[in-house]
Amino acid sequence: MARRRLNLSTPRDIRKSANRVANMLLNGEIGAKAGQAVISACKVCLESIRTDKQERRLDELEKLVKEMRPSDGL
C-alpha cells in the first residue's frame, strides 16, 4: 500500500483530513480500526491547536492587564 501523509497543522487541514479518511472508509480503502486511529489523532491535534490559541490569547490579555495597572514604582 502506498504511503499517505495527512497535514494536521491547522483546523482547516484537520477538517480536510477527516473528510479524506471518511471517504477512504466508505470506499473500503482503509479499515475501521485504522480510520478511528486517524480520527483520534485529528482530535488530539485539533485540541492542541485550540489550547495553544487560548494560551496565546490569555498571555495577550495578561499583558494588557499589566499595562493598564498603575505603576507601583517597584
From CA 16, how far away is CA 28, in angstroms rounded? Answer: 18
Q: Quick check: 1 pLDDT over 70?
A: no
pLDDT the model gives residue 74: 52
From 38, 52, 53, 51, select the one nearest 8 (Cα to Cα). 38
Q: How confident is the model at residue 69 (pLDDT cuts 50, 70, 90)?
A: confident
pTM: 0.75
From 50, 54, 51, 23, select the one nearest 38 (Cα to Cα). 23
What are the cell numbers at 39? 480520527
End-to-end CA distance of the chain: 65
Q: Quick check: 72 pLDDT over 70?
A: no
Condensed to tens digits (0 to 9), the pLDDT of residues 23-68 reads 999 999 999 999 999 999 999 999 999 999 999 999 999 999 999 9
